[in-house]
């Protein structure tokens, strides 16, 4: 077997080629830019939304059909699977949110959620709540089961581009064109922190898998990672040459992928704090990226209407192979300090609360086997005991099995807990690896696409379920007068919407500098009045929700009283 190392002892290129991410599949079914993507919890489906007003569900098993859902009347801006995988939420520029069943039936429930474009949708980890963000400067929380509004978060002063629940559902992170990232407490409904170190609008935000950090990207080409426990900036990346439109954490929290208007997908190693891969394949801006729930695949979508699914590879090194390569490294790790290693509980050995005391019975007699020959100094001047180690002989698979059976999980590692070693287990490239697979610009012959859902060009019934069930929010989700008050502003900013989907244009431009002072003052006054109106509407929505709950409670009590009276009448009649 040939040696995998070069003459200098470093790893050869051929031995590690399989670590590089590879293009696994290429989907082409959308007719316009792919704006969003998300994998199902089972990793059997991939959902994508597009500027062609449709939602596609790609079934990832071989020779399976893909479903095209029609119903939105404008660009689909965001998509997210519920934790159970039984629902898919989508947001659109038509100001609505739809909840779909990801099967051939194509049934959907419609929410008139906002008074402007819905930019982001996100389920909570328990699947009970849905988070939406909009160009009306608000973030809203909805009950999925009851299909009703719960509360709003209103402190953004411009379009809200993205909002995400923390893994435990107690926090919400949001970002927008006001150049801020805000952190909210869902129990108090208050903004508990604001990050403002941005040179332009903030385009995307998300929590890492442990919920201890948030990452945010901006139109200034930067990506930043913040520790929300200390409110400190941990890492700052500027690896793209244009605005970052989307990113996704690897489930392990060790890697992050980002898609940009520069047409590339970048892969960052967060433990070492460096760029490790640059992926090409899209012709134009990359608008959406997403890791699968297991992290073994990730998807990217772009303005070229293509969906590319990649095999991760770089996170799948075999344990024994990793140790073998580690031993062959030329540059040894620096000697670790005791403070570098943070204790975890429980330990992978048996979870003893204290150290194990071992006191074997040692007989003070000569061993009868083997035969001992006395030489040199007095034999009894000292006693030498030979021990069998045992504790280092735990099988790798058994170790993983015990790890999975532990009751108390490890506390999440902090990015600063892990000190970078050299060389890295990947190839010791001074720069990232460029990967440029051949992507054919033709429609995929497989899978077959089935159109389901409502007619694309039919009018949207206000609050109507696809099967004819009325939406309980109809009548107070948005009022006619309020909608008309926002119509003019929305139409004035419509070109700004279109620019987000054009190659090479970030769509996040500043105000024209040639505006007369009087007109600027008037516009600022209008914006302030709209902010007040937005806050007033939010208060009214909350009060209406409380009124609705109280009315339902009264009706339930009335029904109970009537039933009791009827029973009493029947008993008297007998």
Residue 353 has what pLDDT? Answer: 42
Kindly report, residue by residue over 304-323, the tens digit of the pLDDT. Answer: 999 999 999 988 655 455 55
Quick one: pLDDT band at residue 110, thresholds 50, 70, 90? very high
Whole-angstrom distance, CA of residue 102 vs CA of residue 90: 12
Q: List alpha helices for 426-516, DSSP H.
A: 480-492, 494-499
Q: Which residue has the tokens 């299909």?
A: 147
Whole-angstrom distance, CA of residue 231 vs CA of residue 171: 14
Residue 428 has what pLDDT? Answer: 40
Residue 301 has what pLDDT? Answer: 96
Q: What global pTM score does this model have?
A: 0.63
User: Count of CB atoms within 10 A of residue 135's CB?
Assistant: 26
Residue 347 has what pLDDT? Answer: 37
Mean model confidence pLDDT for the chain: 75
Residue 275 has what pLDDT? Answer: 94
Residue 376 has what pLDDT? Answer: 44
Residues 6+ apart with CB under 8 A from 168: 125, 211
Residues 6+ apart with CB under 8 A from 371: none
Backbone dihedral angles phi then psi of residue 390, each to the nearest 5 degrees: 70, -50
Residue 429 has what pLDDT? Answer: 44
Residue 409 has what pLDDT? Answer: 53
Residue 529 has what pLDDT? Answer: 81
Residue 77 has what pLDDT? Answer: 97
The better pLDDT of the pair 364, 27 is held by 27
Contact 461, 474 (CB under 8 A): no
Residue boundaries of the structural domains of the chain: 21-312+428-449, 512-574
Would you say residue 382 has pLDDT above 60? no
Q: Is 390 left (phi over 0), alpha (psi -120 to 50) or beta?
A: left
Strand 66-70 to 449-453 pairing? parallel
Whole-angstrom distance, CA of residue 531 vs CA of residue 537: 10
Would you say residue 358 has pLDDT above 70? no
Residue 324 has what pLDDT? Answer: 59
Contact 176, 169 (CB under 8 A): no
Strand 190-195 to 202-207 pairing? unpaired
Q: What architecture (CATH level 2) is domain 21-312+428-449?
A: 7 Propeller (2.130)
Q: Which helix (H) or strand (E) holds 570?
A: helix 517-573
Would you say residue 553 has pLDDT above 60? yes
The better pLDDT of the pair 323, 149 is held by 149
With H, G, I as helix, E, B as strand and everything else as coil, classify residue 211.
Answer: coil
């Amino acid at each position: 077997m040939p040696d995998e190392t070069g003459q200098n002892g470093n790893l050869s290129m051929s031995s590690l080629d399989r670590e590089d991410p590879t293009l696994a599949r290429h989907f082409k079914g959308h007719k316009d830019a792919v704006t969003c993507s998300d994998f199902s919890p089972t990793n059997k489906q991939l959902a994508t939304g597009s500027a062609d007003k449709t939602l596609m569900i790609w079934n990832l098993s071989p020779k399976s059909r893909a479903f095209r859902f029609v119903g939105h009347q404008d660009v689909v801006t965001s998509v997210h699977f519920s934790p159970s995988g039984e629902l898919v939420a989508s947001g659109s520029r038509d100001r609505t949110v739809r909840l779909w069943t990801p099967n051939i039936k194509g049934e959907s429930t419609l929410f008139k959620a906002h008074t402007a474009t819905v930019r982001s949708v996100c389920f909570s980890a328990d699947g009970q709540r849905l988070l939406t963000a909009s160009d009306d400067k608000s973030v809203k929380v909805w009950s999925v089961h009851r299909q009703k509004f719960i509360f709003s978060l209103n402190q953004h002063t411009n379009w809200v581009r993205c909002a995400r629940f923390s893994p435990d559902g107690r926090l919400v992170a949001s970002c927008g064109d006001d150049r801020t990232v805000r952190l909210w407490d869902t129990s108090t409904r208050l903004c508990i922190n604001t990050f403002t170190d941005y040179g332009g609008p903030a385009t995307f935000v998300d929590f890492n898998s442990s919920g201890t950090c948030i990452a945010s990207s901006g139109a200034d080409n930067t990506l930043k990672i913040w520790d929300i426990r200390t409110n400190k900036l941990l890492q700052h990346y500027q690896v793209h040459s244009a605005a970052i439109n989307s990113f996704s954490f690897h489930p392990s929290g060790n890697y992050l992928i980002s898609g940009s208007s520069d047409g590339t997908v970048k892969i960052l190693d967060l433990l070492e704090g460096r760029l490790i891969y640059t992926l090409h394949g899209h012709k134009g801006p990359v608008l959406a990226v997403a890791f699968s729930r297991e992290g073994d695949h990730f998807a990217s979508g772009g303005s070229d209407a293509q969906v590319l699914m990649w095999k991760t590879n770089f996170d799948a090194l075999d344990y024994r192979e990793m140790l073998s390569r580690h031993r062959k490294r030329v540059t040894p790790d620096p000697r670790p300090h005791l403070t570098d290693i943070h204790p975890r509980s429980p330990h992978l050995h048996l979870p003893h609360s204290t150290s194990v005391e071992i006191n074997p019975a040692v007989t003070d007699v000569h061993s009868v086997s083997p035969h001992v020959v006395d030489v040199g100094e007095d034999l009894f001047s000292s006693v030498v005991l030979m021990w069998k180690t045992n504790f280092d002989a735990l099988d790798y698979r058994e170790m993983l099995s015990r790890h999975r059976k532990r009751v108390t999980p490890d506390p999440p590692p902090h990015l600063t807990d892990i000190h970078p070693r050299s060389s890295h287990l990947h190839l010791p490239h001074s720069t990232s690896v460029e990967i440029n697979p051949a992507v054919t610009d033709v429609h995929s012959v497989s899978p077959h696409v089935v159109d389901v859902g409502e007619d694309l060009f039919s009018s949207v019934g206000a609050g109507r379920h696809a099967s004819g069930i009325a939406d309980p929010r109809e009548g107070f989700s948005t009022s006619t007068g309020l909608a008309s008050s926002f119509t003019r502003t929305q139409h004035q900013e419509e070109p700004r919407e279109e620019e987000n989907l054009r190659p090479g244009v970030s769509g996040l431009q500043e105000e024209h500098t040639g505006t007369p002072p009087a007109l600027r003052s008037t516009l600022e006054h209008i914006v302030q009045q709209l902010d007040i109106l937005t806050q007033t509407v939010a208060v009214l929505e909350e009060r209406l929700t409380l009124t609705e709950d109280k009315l339902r409670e009264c009706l339930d009590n009335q029904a109970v009283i009537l039933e009791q009276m009827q029973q009493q009448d029947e008993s008297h009649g007998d």
